[in-house]
Structure 1
Amino acid sequence: MAMDDRLAELNPKPRTCVVFGGRGFLGRSLVLRLLKLGKWIVRVADSTQSLHLDPSERDSLLSQALSSGIASLHGVDVRDKSQIITAIKGSSVVFYFDGADLRTDDFYHCYMIVVQGAKNVISGCRECKVRRLIYNSSADVVFDGSHDINNGDESLPYPWKFDDMLSDFKAQAEALVLRSNDIDGLLTCALRPSNVFGHGDSHLVPFLVNLAKSGWGKFIIGSGENRSDFTYAENVTHAHICAEEALDNRMVSAAGKAFFITNLEPANFWEFVTLILDGLGYQRPLVKVPAKMARYILLFFKLMTEKYGLIKHNHSMSAHYIQLASHTRTFDCTAARNQIGYSPVVSLEEGVTLTIESFSHLAKYSSFTSYSDFNEQSKVEKLLGSGEVADILLWRDEKKSFTYFLALSLLFYWFFLCGRTFASSVSKLLLLVSFGLYGYGILPPKILGLTVKSLSLSCFEIPEMAVKDMIATIAYLWNRGVGYMRQLAQGDDWDIFFKFAASLYFLKLISSQALTVVIGVALVFAFTLFFIYEQYESEIDGFAKLLFNSTMLVFGSLRTNVPASVQLFLENHGIWRHGKGHATIKHQK
């Protein structure tokens, strides 16, 4: 008998566990982890419609386990306690992941799934004499949406008020699980992972991709300096195994408590987003937008959705993203390391790489590659010469661009909006500059310990090469203009004629308007249109191509209906010729 006991210890009989939400993002990862350990008979419990296996799972470890009886599928609605009891009867451990894909616009549905579901699971565990219950909570349960969390630990209280309904319900469910500890022999604990991502993610990564596709992914919400903790999915499932082992050993320090779970590598939130979007071929966030402005825009979208149904978007997910993206949220996992023996098994860098590979089907380019050239110049940058002017008009340096815009706006106001003549404005400006230079020149070398640098005469000199280049440019433009006039006078090139006529017409339109309005509009457009075009280059190019093709179709249909006399006149002058089945305009060189 002693030998049999020793063999039993070396080859323990598999224990039975139930994974509620076992077909969700984290549930699937935990099920595979349990099956790989080979010590468990796993019951996968989830809603009936999610129990079917995906085509990619036909020959998977789960499929083999189902065939051998090591795993089984159970359709369970957590709102029905009788279904829960049927699924967990005879098991010793329950891992509980509540609904992942909830309709967040339905208050009652969310409450019944998260809060009432937790009550039913707890009650079922007590009735069936389950020994251990591990609940997958969230770090969101201590976040109020408005205050930063720096290295927060488990002593943080629940907020008085939640901005996110789902976080509120998760906090209620977590409290129910923890309060039920050590009642009827049931030991419980809760895990609080932060910003979970990984293979099969149905929230964070798909949301970032959709954001990038819509064009909103180019914006950084807030200062861009906030840090966050992220957790790779496999580390979360590893933490569940650690928690179960700690409760199995009846460690008093673990029972009835909640633990933060992260990768132990706090990172800049926007650097993480950049890694994901860069890896999938999308443009990284570049433009900073105040968080308050982002909230106002979101409220506007919500109003349009509720009143007119014009814009379809997930308001709760977007609002939660703005909160995460504009606040620091880092957590201390010392308690998890000391009391349940948790430490990450996958680093953050490796987790990001694996996640990008698993989402290659969402990459921007069909031939997904990690060697994409993300530094390729845009069309508008090439048009502006890729120099300092391009950097200013494309807002590469926000402070510098704003300074130039403000200076030009002040000059515009000084010359055109003050009600003075141009000569008077110039004279007063020169007078102010003279007084300013004179005042600067008589300043002492040091003021309050600060050194005042003197202006050298070279600051007011124009280099000889610059003068020569300017004269050469003027001469080139003059000669080019004369050449165009000669070609126009010869009457051989219709392209130049149409360009010249269009230019004159455009000049007429400008001159018909007030010069002040034209310059003001040009100033605003210079600092906005180039930037907007760069941000939405592909969309604008696609629309322009569609418009051009439509215009060509219209012209093609018109050409077929041109009167014969007009066709004959144009043919005699070499302007019109017949191609294959249709008439075309001849472009003369």
Structure 2
Amino acid sequence: MTNARTDTFLITGGCGYFGYRLACSLHKKGAKIILFDTISPKQELPEDIVFVQGDIREYAQVEKAIAGADCVFHLASYGMSGREQLNRHLIEAVNVQGTQHVLQACIEHGVSRLVYTSTFNVVFGGQVIENGDESLPYLPLHLHPDHYSRTKSLAEMAVLKANGTALKEGAGVLRSCALRPAGIYGPGEQRHLPRIVGYIEKGIFRFVYGDPKSLVEFVHVDNLVSAHELAAEALTSKKQHRSSGQAYFISDGKPVNNFEFFRPLVEGLGYPFPKLRLPVSLIYFVAFLTEMIHLLIGPVYNFQPLLTRTEVYKTGVTHYFSMAKAKEELGYEPQEYNLDEVVRWFRSRGHGKKSQSSFFGRLILDFLICAALVAVALSFLPFVGS
């Protein structure tokens, strides 16, 4: 980024995996960085990177952090996966109200550029999408199977609608855009990969599901960093504000079967790749039952669901998108990556094939599969007295 040396960037959710990676990249280019997050950074920060601890749900804290920034990367969100997806109140507060706070603070303090990290899910809700582009309409809000996707849609709509809003004290207008990334991977990723490795090591990862020809996409963390930097630069007058008011799908540009993508990780850690393949409909039903159980006992025991309904769709149903718009308007060119560095990262931390697998994990999985099969079979039986 040619303008990074004189800019101050604020990154909401900046202490997360992707936020920290983005901050380090910008810092190397000479930019001033402010990280805003509820949690302290896990890694040691360079002295000139500022960390501001705060909650995006509190406007006064957001306003204080944003004052003086030239550009905001709004990454902070909640409810992406697992049991987090079932906490509706917190998801609404962070994703919708939090985004409104960021927009308001940008307008009040004359911040002219805002890049919002959105998601594929704003247009996807379980339907097949092949090489879709940004002309696709938002999925109707009532069709989203989870609160995260619905609230991310609302937040993205608000961000793009705010594009062109006059800033206070004649400071020009707000230029905003949104990036819609695929699933993020890379060494040290802390949300999805450890959960997958945990299932592998506990003996729970014993089946795959869906059509083996189904295709999804992923994005390496450094490709996503590049896309964000390019999007911020494309909001400047030097680039004719070309990304202003626009949304972009971002991935590695290599559609792949979800389970085949993770095969190198499974086998790289010394485990056999599952041969059993189950239908998506069955796994979706099991996920639905699990969510209902969580609804009932979650307040007492907030267990981690094996999968949620949204995760079943995201991993088992074809949906991939064209990078043409991002390449043409942002100059985005994804680099080639694989899971080798991820395997090395996990192995360096003691992960890999153990001498004994988890009997308890296998027992739980066998029970869940049997219960689901019985439930599906019973659903086809006629009602008594009918």
SS in structure 1 at match of 2:86: coil
Aligned twin of 1:128: 109
Aligned twin of 2:281: 292
Letter in 1 for 2:36: A
Aligned twin of 2:382: none
Contact in 2 for aligned 1:140/1:194 (Cα 8 Å): no
Contact in 2 for aligned 1:226/1:327 (Cα 8 Å): yes
**Two-structure CA RMSD over aligned residues (Å):** 2.7
> Is 1:212 the counterpart of 2:193 in the alignment?
no
Letter in 1 for 2:121: D
Q: How does 1:141-540 map to 2 (within 5 A)?
A: 141-145=122-126, 147-160=127-140, 161-184=143-166, 185-248=173-236, 249-307=238-296, 313-315=303-305, 318-345=308-335, 347-349=336-338, 352-360=339-347, 361=349, 363-365=351-353, 539=359
**Alignment match of 2:75 (pick from 76, 97, 101):** 97
Unpaired runs of at least 5, structure 1: 1-9, 368-535, 544-589
SS in structure 2 at match of 1:223: coil
Classify 1:252/1:219 alpha carbon distance in 2 versus 1 (closer, same or farther; 3 Å): same
CA shift, 1:306, in A, is 4.5
Letter in 2 for 1:126: I
Letter in 1 for 2:51: L
CA shift, 1:300, in A, is 3.5
Classify 1:84/1:270 alpha carbon distance in 2 versus 1 (closer, same or farther; 3 Å): same
Letter in 2 for 1:34: L
Question: Whole-Å Cα distance in 2 between the matches of residues 172 and 538 of structure 1?
Answer: 42
* Residue-by-residue CA offset, 1:207-238 (whole Å, 9 max, x unaligned): 22233234332211112221111100111111
Contact in 2 for aligned 1:193/1:231 (Cα 8 Å): yes
Contact in 2 for aligned 1:223/1:326 (Cα 8 Å): yes
**Alignment match of 2:18 (pick from 17, 26, 29):** 26
Letter in 1 for 2:218: F
Letter in 2 for 1:158: Y
Letter in 2 for 1:177: V
CA shift, 1:268, in A, is 2.0
Question: Whole-Å Cα distance in 2 between the matches of residues 219 and 12 of structure 1?
Answer: 47
CA shift, 1:167, in A, is 0.7
Q: How does 1:7-26 map to 2 (within 5 A)?
A: 14-26=6-18
Letter in 1 for 2:18: L
Question: Whole-Å Cα distance in 1 between the matches of residues 73 and 35 of structure 2?
Answer: 10
Classify 1:294/1:238 alpha carbon distance in 2 versus 1 (closer, same or farther; 3 Å): same
CA shift, 1:307, in A, is 4.5
Letter in 1 for 2:262: V
Aligned twin of 1:76: 54
SS in structure 2 at match of 1:111: helix
Classify 1:162/1:13 alpha carbon distance in 2 versus 1 (closer, same or farther; 3 Å): closer
Classify 1:80/1:308 alpha carbon distance in 2 versus 1 (closer, same or farther; 3 Å): closer
Letter in 2 for 1:271: E
Classify 1:214/1:287 alpha carbon distance in 2 versus 1 (closer, same or farther; 3 Å): same
* Residue-by-residue CA offset, 1:513-547 (whole Å, 9 max, x unaligned): xxxxxxxxxxxxxxxxxxxxxxx97628x99xxxx
* Residue-by-residue CA offset, 1:348-395 (whole Å, 9 max, x unaligned): 32xx1222222222623379xxxxxxxxxxxxxxxxxxxxxxxxxxxx
Question: Whole-Å Cα distance in 1 between the matches of residues 274 and 354 of structure 2?
Answer: 22
Pairs aligned (count): 347
TM-score normalised by structure 1 residue count: 0.55
SS in structure 2 at match of 1:298: helix
Question: Whole-Å Cα distance in 2 between the matches of residues 142 and 148 of structure 1?
Answer: 11
> Which of the pair has more CA radius of gyration?
1
Contact in 2 for aligned 1:181/1:188 (Cα 8 Å): yes
**Alignment match of 1:41 (pick from 4, 22, 32):** 32
Question: Whole-Å Cα distance in 2 between the matches of residues 211 and 20 of structure 1?
Answer: 30
Contact in 2 for aligned 1:177/1:189 (Cα 8 Å): yes
Q: Which has the higher contact order (CA 8 A, sep 6+)?
A: 2
CA shift, 1:199, in A, is 2.6
Letter in 2 for 1:116: Q
Question: Whole-Å Cα distance in 1 between the matches of residues 59 and 289 of structure 2?
Answer: 41
Question: Whole-Å Cα distance in 1 between the matches of residues 147 and 306 of structure 2?
Answer: 8
Question: Whole-Å Cα distance in 2 between the matches of residues 79 and 246 of structure 1?
Answer: 29
Classify 1:154/1:282 alpha carbon distance in 2 versus 1 (closer, same or farther; 3 Å): same
Letter in 2 for 1:330: Y
Question: Whole-Å Cα distance in 1 between the matches of residues 3 and 264 of structure 2?
Answer: 45
* Residue-by-residue CA offset, 1:146-199 (whole Å, 9 max, x unaligned): x11100110111112101210111111111111111112110001011111113
SS in structure 2 at match of 1:182: coil
* Residue-by-residue CA offset, 1:79-125 (whole Å, 9 max, x unaligned): 11111111111111101102356733321211010001001100100
Classify 1:241/1:265 alpha carbon distance in 2 versus 1 (closer, same or farther; 3 Å): same
With 22-31 and 208-217 compared, the bigger mean Cα shift is at 208-217
Determine which structure has the larger helix proportion and give its number: 1
CA shift, 1:303, in A, is 4.4
CA shift, 1:130, in A, is 0.5
Contact in 1 for aligned 2:4/2:29 (Cα 8 Å): no
Question: Whole-Å Cα distance in 1 between the matches of residues 3 and 318 of structure 2?
Answer: 47
Contact in 2 for aligned 1:25/1:100 (Cα 8 Å): no
Classify 1:366/1:211 alpha carbon distance in 2 versus 1 (closer, same or farther; 3 Å): closer
Letter in 2 for 1:358: W
CA shift, 1:23, in A, is 0.3
Question: Whole-Å Cα distance in 1 between the matches of residues 154 and 295 of structure 2?
Answer: 28
With 358-367 and 245-254 compared, the bigger mean Cα shift is at 358-367
CA shift, 1:13, in A, is 5.7
Unpaired runs of at least 5, structure 2: 167-172, 364-386
Question: Whole-Å Cα distance in 2 between the matches of residues 191 and 11 of structure 1?
Answer: 20
Letter in 2 for 1:328: T
CA shift, 1:12, in A, is 8.6
